């Protein structure tokens, strides 16, 4: 009866251990890649609509404006169904201050939005990107018992091969739940605000 070489037995066990560990990493990374693939397949519109503002409301004026701008970019640059448009419109209005919401019914807002989107489509215009003020450029202050914020967003609008920036000035007010809400905005005219 021949005795087995202990070095050979150790080598076999080491190779088997490496194979088991390698298989474990392959399986765990494969499931991560599948999850990432599913997220990439999810449309931009679906990703935005999956956000729950009750549990995940943007914490700062800048984050509120970024989320609003993502929705706006969808309105004027993504494909969506009529049902998704209604959901996007509802979501955008949840970022508005009660005073702004009171200016229009949901139906009036949706009707005006649809007309605006149709006009952009006729002109072949899309919002290709946006840039929100840096956090250091957000002006926060207290007035009349409320906390306020002012900030800017530059939307890059593409019409065919032409590209033009549109800068907008936003005013926000903090509500009684501590959420920053958009009270209004207006386009910034060239040279406005330059000192």
Q: Cβ contacts of residue 171 below 8 Å, gap of 6+?
A: 148, 149, 150, 182, 183, 184, 185
Upper half-sphere CA count for residue 119 (Cβ side, 13 Å): 6
Contact at 8 Å (CB) between 130 and 73? yes
What would the CATH number be for the domain defined by 47-187? Answer: 3.10.450
Helices then strands, counting H and E runs in the chain, come out as: 6, 5
- For residue range 55-76, list pLDDT tens digits in order: 999 999 999 999 999 999 999 9
From the centroid of its chain, how far is CA 174?
Answer: 20
pTM: 0.76
Q: CB neighbours (10 Å) of residue 141?
A: 9
| 131 DSSP β-pair partners | 154
For β-strands 125-132 and 146-159, DSSP reports them as antiparallel
What whole-number distance in Å separates Cα of residue 140 and Cα of residue 75? 29
Mean pLDDT of 5-34: 69
34 alpha carbon, distance to own chain's centre:
23
- What pLDDT is recorded for position 162? 92
Q: How many CB atoms lie within 10 A of CB 158?
A: 16
Domain spans of the chain?
47-187
- Amino acid 35: pLDDT: 55
């Amino acid at each position: 009866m021949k005795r087995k070489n202990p070095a050979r037995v150790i080598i076999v066990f080491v190779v088997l251990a490496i194979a088991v560990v390698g298989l474990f990493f392959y399986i765990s990374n494969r499931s991560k890649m599948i999850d990432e693939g599913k997220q990439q397949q999810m449309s931009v519109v679906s990703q935005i609509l999956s956000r729950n503002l009750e549990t995940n409301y943007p914490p700062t004026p800048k984050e509120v404006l970024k989320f609003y701008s993502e929705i706006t970019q969808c309105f004027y640059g993504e494909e969506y169904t009529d049902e998704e448009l209604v959901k996007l419109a509802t979501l955008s209005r949840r970022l508005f201050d009660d005073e702004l919401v009171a200016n229009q019914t949901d139906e009036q807002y949706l009707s005006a939005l649809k007309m605006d989107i149709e006009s952009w489509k006729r002109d072949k215009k899309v919002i290709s990107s946006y840039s929100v003020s840096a956090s250091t450029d957000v002006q926060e202050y207290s007035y009349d018992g409320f906390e306020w914020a002012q900030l800017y967003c530059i939307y890059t609008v593409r019409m065919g091969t032409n590209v033009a920036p549109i800068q907008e000035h936003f005013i926000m007010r903090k509500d009684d739940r501590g959420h920053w809400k958009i009270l209004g905005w207006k386009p910034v005219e060239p040279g406005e605000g330059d000192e």
